[in-house]
């Protein structure tokens, strides 16, 4: 067991290092081939994904970004294409039986309805599945979940981490269509999967786009070059277990499938791709805060582009903070490159965030053309708080905004609990 984990840790480190060397970034990455063996290869973690980033839902005007600064409210954006809801689904018990969907551009007739997001274990029983087998949820503590597969399948060996289980390793194929307006061709399209357990291949119009394995981390792919005006077929082929399952193994209930939101965002080919905002205090002085902001602008067009980034900060009443009222930085990313706009501002007497007083501000980042035309806006909630540990080892205290803090909570292993169960846990 220890030897297997050491091998997996080394493989993960190798993969991370390789990602750094190849400069995986905000720009389209379609050069790396998809072999179809990634799910059972420890070194293969992601193929042709864009770089991990903050959640970005682009809007077209200032007020919309200000009023919709969260991921959930981002669904109100005209640039948000919601892929949650009913997909078509086909299930097999092992990879050897999965359908080959390369070149497939329409949904086969033998697929049935399934809800996204969900797990297929909780959907198959109620969504019209006609097969004899059911892939049940598995609670696991010490062993790996595939060691007792059920459905009459003999116990599979634990393995040493060099390959994923194959005798019983269900594969679910998801399909749905999405329509792209002719007027939007020329924009950049990024598809986001916020959680898929445990690994999946993405196909668009029958072409393999890329691969991801990480059940609880967002995966994003630039699918601009795969889309056309009219109806397009989006497909995800999901493996219950991958070599990443060795690392994800813990005391919890195991499911599989697309269990978090899926959506496509539309943005200009020169657009805000990422940002990072930090609020800090000097010497625990809460009468004044530093706001540090970095906005990355990615250029996927064919020529350099002069752009201007402006930042605005609004308090809880919707009033703009004077020191962050349209502060400006110019950027000029070359074709196929990124450029960063970096801001620093001082906010006087900020309202502090805590659980008891959850004061939040709204940051709006706006991208302008060189002629002053507004191209894109992005909103984000921002809190001013400081968490630190003070004191000698063994007698240290955790402090939030200068006050001692204690934490109470339950480990729910990222699974949905009934409301009455949660209520009892809180009372305890």
pLDDT in tens, 282-326: 999 999 999 999 999 999 999 999 999 999 999 999 999 999 999
Residue closest to 110 by CA, chosen among 96, 95, 130: 130
**368 and 412 part of one domain:** no
- Domain harbouring 290, CATH code: 2.60.40.10
**281 and 176 part of one domain:** no
For residue 68, tell me if it sits in a domain.
no
**10 and 82 part of one domain:** yes
- How crowded is the C-beta side of 242, counted as CA atoms within 13 Å? 28
**227 and 277 part of one domain:** no
Largest CA distance in the chain: 68
pLDDT at residue 20, rounded to an integer: 32
For residue 58, tell me if it sits in a domain.
no
Distance CA 339, CA 391 (A): 41
Assign 142 a pLDDT band (cuts: 50, 70, 90).
Answer: confident
**151 and 285 part of one domain:** no
Assign 3 a pLDDT band (cuts: 50, 70, 90).
Answer: very low
For residue 64, tell me if it sits in a domain.
no
pLDDT at residue 133, rounded to an integer: 72
For residue 65, tell me if it sits in a domain.
no
- Could you tell me which residue, 28 or 220, shows the higher pLDDT? 220
The mean pLDDT of 30-51, rounded to a whole number, is 91
Compute the Cα dihedral for 26, 29, 32, 38 and give only its sign. positive
Distance CA 315, CA 306 (A): 31
For residue 62, tell me if it sits in a domain.
no
Burial grade of 157 (CB within 10 A; 0-12, 13-18, 19 or more): exposed
Question: In angstroms, how far is CA 292 from the centroid of its own chain?
Answer: 24
Q: Are 156 and 146 in contact (CB under 8 A)?
A: yes
Assign 406 a pLDDT band (cuts: 50, 70, 90).
Answer: confident
Residues with Cβ within 8 Å of residue 194, at least 6 apart in sequence:
117, 218, 260, 261, 262
The mean pLDDT of 66-76, rounded to a whole number, is 96
For residue 70, tell me if it sits in a domain.
no
- Domain harbouring 230, CATH code: 2.60.120.260
For residue 320, tell me if it sits in a domain.
yes
Domain boundary among 216, 248, 267: 267
Compute the Cα dihedral for 173, 176, 182, 186 and give only its sign. negative
The three-class DSSP label of residue 108 is: coil
Domain boundary among 267, 294, 314: 267
pLDDT at residue 296, rounded to an integer: 98
Mean pLDDT of the chain: 88
Angle formed at CA 257 by CA 150 and CA 131, multiple of 5 degrees: 50
pLDDT at residue 17, rounded to an integer: 33
Assign 2 a pLDDT band (cuts: 50, 70, 90).
Answer: very low
Angle formed at CA 361 by CA 299 and CA 64, multiple of 5 degrees: 55
Assign 11 a pLDDT band (cuts: 50, 70, 90).
Answer: very low
Distance CA 15, CA 30 (A): 18
CA distances from 232 to 192, 205, 226, 373, 393 (A): 16, 6, 9, 32, 59
Domain count, the chain: 3
Compute the Cα dihedral for 339, 345, 351, 354 and give only its sign. positive
Distance CA 195, CA 215 (A): 6
**155 and 208 part of one domain:** yes
Cα(first)–Cα(last) distance of the chain, in Å?
A: 37
Whether 61 has a pLDDT exceeding 70, the answer reads: yes
**285 and 341 part of one domain:** yes
pLDDT at residue 87, rounded to an integer: 96
Q: Which domain holds residue 392?
A: 388-427
**221 and 98 part of one domain:** yes
Region of poorest pLDDT, from 215-219, 338-342, 362-366, 421-425: 421-425
The mean pLDDT of 160-177, rounded to a whole number, is 94
pTM for the full predicted model: 0.88
pLDDT in tens, 233-287: 999 999 999 999 999 888 888 889 999 999 999 999 999 999 999 999 999 999 9
Domain boundary among 222, 239, 267: 267
Region class of 413: left (phi > 0), else alpha (psi between -120 and 50), else beta:
left
Q: Alpha-carbon Rg of the chain, whole angstroms? A: 24
**155 and 6 part of one domain:** yes
**263 and 274 part of one domain:** no
**165 and 282 part of one domain:** no
Question: How much of the chain, in percent, has pLDDT values that exceed 70?
Answer: 86
Give the pair of three-digit tokens for residue 363: 């940051």
The mean pLDDT of 149-160, rounded to a whole number, is 77
The mean pLDDT of 89-104, rounded to a whole number, is 95
State phi, psi for 282 to the nearest 5 degrees. -100, 125
Distance CA 419, CA 428 (A): 14
The three-class DSSP label of residue 151 is: coil
pLDDT at residue 322, rounded to an integer: 98
424-427: long-range pairs with CB below 8 Å, 24+: none
The mean pLDDT of 179-203, rounded to a whole number, is 97
Per the listing, tokens 């053309």 go with 369
Residue closest to 25 by CA, chosen among 46, 52, 51: 51
Whether 24 has a pLDDT exceeding 50, the answer reads: no
Distance CA 348, CA 288 (A): 5
The mean pLDDT of 9-31, rounded to a whole number, is 42
The three-class DSSP label of residue 43 is: coil
Q: Which residues on neighbouring strands pair with residue 113, listed in sequence order?
A: 88
Whether 70 has a pLDDT exceeding 70, the answer reads: yes
Region class of 159: left (phi > 0), else alpha (psi between -120 and 50), else beta:
left
Distance CA 213, CA 195 (A): 10
pLDDT at residue 26, rounded to an integer: 59
Beta-sheet strands, E only, within 118-247 = 138-140, 171-180, 188-193, 196-204, 207-214, 219-222, 230-239
Q: Is the peptide bond before 288 cis (omega within 30 degrees of 0)?
A: no
Whether 15 has a pLDDT exceeding 90, the answer reads: no
């Amino acid at each position: 067991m220890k030897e297997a984990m050491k091998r997996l840790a080394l493989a993960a480190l190798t993969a991370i290092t390789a990602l750094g060397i190849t400069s995986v970034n905000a720009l389209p990455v379609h050069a790396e081939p998809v072999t179809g063996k990634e799910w059972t290869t420890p070194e293969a973690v992601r193929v042709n994904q864009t770089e991990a980033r903050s959640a970005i839902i682009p809007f077209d005007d200032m007020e919309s970004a200000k009023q919709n600064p969260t991921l959930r409210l981002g669904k109100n954006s005209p640039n948000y294409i919601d892929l949650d809801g009913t997909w078509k689904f086909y299930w097999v018990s092992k990879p050897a039986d999965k359908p080959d969907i390369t070149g497939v551009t329409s949904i086969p007739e033998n697929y049935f309805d399934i809800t996204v997001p969900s797990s297929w274990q909780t959907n198959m029983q109620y969504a019209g599945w006609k097969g004899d087998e059911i892939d049940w949820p598995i609670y696991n503590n010490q062993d790996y979940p595939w060691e007792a597969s059920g459905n009459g399948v003999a116990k599979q060996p634990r393995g040493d981490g060099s390959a994923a289980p194959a005798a019983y390793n269900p594969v679910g194929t998801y399909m749905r269509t999405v329509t792209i307006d002719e007027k939007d061709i020329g924009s950049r399209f990024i598809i986001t999967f916020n959680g898929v357990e445990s690994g999946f291949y993405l196909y668009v119009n029958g072409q393999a786009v890329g691969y991801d394995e990480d059940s609880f981390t967002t995966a994003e792919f630039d699918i601009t070059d795969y889309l056309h005006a009219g109806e397009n077929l989006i497909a995800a082929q999901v493996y219950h277990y991958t070599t990443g399952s060795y690392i994800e193994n813990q005391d919890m209930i195991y499911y599989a499938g697309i269990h978090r939101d899926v959506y496509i965002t539309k943005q200009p080919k020169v657009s805000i791709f990422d940002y990072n905002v930090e609020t800090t205090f000097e010497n625990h002085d809460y009468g004044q805060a530093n706001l540090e902001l970095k906005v990355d602008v990615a250029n996927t067009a064919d020529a350099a582009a002069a752009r201007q980034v402006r930042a605005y900060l609004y308090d809880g009443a919707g009033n703009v903070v004077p020191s962050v009222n349209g502060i400006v930085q110019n950027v000029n990313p070359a074709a196929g490159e990124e450029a960063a706009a970096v801001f620093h501002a001082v906010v006087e007497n900020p309202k502090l965030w805590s659980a008891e007083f959850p004061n939040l501000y709204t940051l709006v980042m706006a991208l302008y053309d060189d002629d002053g035309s507004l191209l894109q806006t992005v909103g984000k909630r921002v809190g001013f708080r400081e968490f630190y540990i003070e004191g000698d080892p063994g007698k240290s205290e955790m402090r939030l905004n200068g006050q001692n803090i204690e934490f109470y909570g339950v480990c729910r292993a990222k699974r949905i609990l009934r409301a009455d169960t949660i209520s009892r846990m809180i009372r305890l």
